[in-house]
Amino acid sequence: MNSRSLARALLASVALAASIVLAGCDTDQVSLATNAKANQPVPPKLVAAMAEKDMDLNSPILIRLFKQEAELEIWKQTRSGQFALLKTYPICRWSGDLGPKVREGDRQAPEGFYSINPSQMNPQSAYYLSFNTGFPNAFDKALGRTGSQLMVHGDCSSRGCYAMTDEQIAEIYSLGRESFFGGQKAFQFQAYPFRMTPVNMAKHRNNPNMAFWKMIKEGYDHFEVTRQEPKVDFCEKKYVFDAAKAPDAKRDPVFDASAKCPAYVIPEEIASAVREKQQRDEAEYNKLVAKGTPVARLNTGIDGGMNKIFAAKIPEGSTGLSEGAEGNTLQMLAMAKAPGTIPGTVNPPKPNLEPVASTPQDEPVVAVSAPATNTRVASVAPAEKSGGFFSNLGRKMGLSTADTTATTPPPQATASVTPAPASTTPPTAASRLKAAVTRFVPGHDKSKDNAVAAAKPAETKVAATRPALKPSVNDGAGDTASSSGGPLAGAAPVVSSNSFDSRFGAVK
């Protein structure tokens, strides 16, 4: 009897090992859930927060994530059956642009609705701990989108994933683990470009991804009005939320992401609540557009984003495409405690150096901002042999336009120059220089300055260029430290009989 029980346990372990063939951004190996990192208990402070919000430790969870805000939310089901927000985690790093992932290697972090089951949890990640988002889902596959091993993991390093600190992913992982132990088959992962508010929709109204964003906003609205995990289906290469069997149907509708949608209905209590919310949102959106709400700039070449709490603690830190903070705000945040350990190898968002021309034609059009047309970058040409002291000195000071070469076409560069008053003898560089010098001489008649100023071309200040950012982080550089397998500092001892594989084996 004992030998048969041992054999069953060994077979369960082998099955679990085979099911966890996951990777932390393409670098992880087959693993067993028998390490201390994967079995850390939920922190007592978080357990206390659950009790305050009428949640059970093993109740189902749901995750929402927002790129622009660089935040990840953990929602947990209360004893009433609805979901309530448990905790919001700032995201340490995400890569790519606002918009969905389209192809393997585009560095895009996915957007949309995904389902995370126990086999997608990776306790042996090279990035401390991780779970696979499940990209591509049926909708992505129907559109021919490609990509693999898109994770939420630790180590604050990303090339298509959502990266947290090790301490953060330890908490998130433990919450997912406990929900599985409580019987949840899979938890929903919702990834958005930004919070789907009228203000954000108005700001991004010219983005080529707007049609897709309006489609996933439908699911966002379903969750907002019901506080229930929306049922997700796909047909005709689109998302369908909370679809139910039609009253006269004999069986539940069968959905195929690439096929025609079957007959279905959305329960009226959900449909009416969503409709009312969308009408309010549309009215607010129209007001914002009518009053000229500025449109957000499209991709400026910056690769991804970082929450401001992390950017404030990194030399030359930048929030990139995430909502930033400037000046005093960043200085104040630098004094706050970071939510976890920031690796020394972390790199803030930086410009994408790939040429724009390499973007395939079927990708969303990305507008790259060009330098202002009235900016002139001039280089001084060799001085002429004649002209005298004041003339030569004038050239060195940029008062003569005859010896400069501008990078912008001459008509654009001089379009803002005010024509000089008609004169039979235009002022020379030497005379302009003498006038400039004599303005500082006591007793100088300033009434003569107007003629000199009118003859001088308008100048455009060129903003000082920031120092070049550090090179890209070698994504494998932090693997050794981040996959050590030991518990976090201050973690409670782990009871071996409460391990992931033993408890999950019982549930499975």
Read out DSSP for 206-220? T-TTHHHHHHHHHHH
Report the SS3 class of residue 117: coil
Q: What pLDDT is attached to residue 222?
A: 98
Residue 155, both tokens: 């180590």
DSSP annotation string for 432-472: HHHHHHHTTSTT--GGGHHHHHHHSPP--PPPPPPPPPPPP
Q: What is the pLDDT of residue 257?
A: 98
- CB burial readout 311-345, b (16+ within 10 A) else e: bbbbeebbbbbbebbeeeebeebeeeebbbbbbeb
Cβ–Cβ < 8 Å for 204, 97: no
Q: Does residue 156 carry a catalytic annotation?
A: no
Q: For 338-359, write each residue's pLDDT tens digit.
A: 889 999 888 888 765 554 433 3
pLDDT tens-digit readout, 405-457: 333 333 343 333 344 444 444 555 445 444 443 443 344 444 444 443 444 33
25, 153, 156, 204: the active-site residue: 153
Tell me the C-alpha distance between 369 and 384, whole Å: 38
Q: What local confidence, expressed as pLDDT, does residue 67 receive?
A: 98
Q: In three state form, how does the secondary structure of 134-193 look?
A: CCCCHHHHHCCCCCCCCEEECCCCCCCCEECCHHHHHHHHHHHHHHHHCCCCCEEEEEEC
3-state secondary structure of 347: coil
The torsion defined by the Cα of 440, 443, 447 and 453, in degrees rounded to 10, comes to -10
161 classed as catalytic: yes
Cα torsion for 56, 58, 64, 67, to the nearest 10°?
A: 110
For the chain, list residues with pLDDT below 70: 1-34, 326-328, 330, 351-508
Q: Please tell me whether residue 94 adopts helix, strand or coil conformation.
A: strand
- Pairing of β 151-153 and β 187-192: unpaired
Query: Hey, what amino acid is at 54?
Result: D
Residue 334: its pLDDT value, please? 75
Kindly name the residue from 25, 92, 161, 235 that is annotated as catalytic: 161
